[in-house]
Amino acid sequence: MKTRTVVITCICTAAVLIGAALIYAGRVTGDKLGDVISDRLTLLWPDMMALPEPDRALLVMLSLECNMYAVPAEPAAVRGCLAAAAAKDESKMNNAEQNLARLFKMASPAN
Higher pLDDT, 49 or 2: 49
pLDDT at 3: 80
pLDDT at 77: 94
Q: Provide CB contacts within 8 A for 76, sequence distance 6+.
A: none
Domain membership flag for residue 33:
yes
pLDDT of 16 > 80? The answer is: no
Number of domains, the chain: 1
The answer to whether residues 40 and 73 touch, using CB atoms and an 8 Å cutoff, is yes
Q: Provide CB contacts within 8 A for 63, sequence distance 6+.
A: 37, 40, 41, 81, 82, 85
Domain membership flag for residue 20:
yes
Domain range for 44: 2-106
89-102 pLDDT per residue, tens: 665 566 777 888 88
19-41 pLDDT per residue, tens: 655 565 555 555 577 889 999 99
Domain membership flag for residue 111:
no
pLDDT at 40: 93
The answer to whether residues 59 and 99 touch, using CB atoms and an 8 Å cutoff, is no
The answer to whether residues 111 and 75 touch, using CB atoms and an 8 Å cutoff, is yes
**C-alpha span between 32 and 35 (Å, rounded):** 5
Domain membership flag for residue 12:
yes
Domain membership flag for residue 89:
yes
Helix 53-65, helix 2-44: angle, nearest 10 = 110
44-91 pLDDT per residue, tens: 999 888 999 999 889 988 999 899 989 999 999 999 999 999 888 665
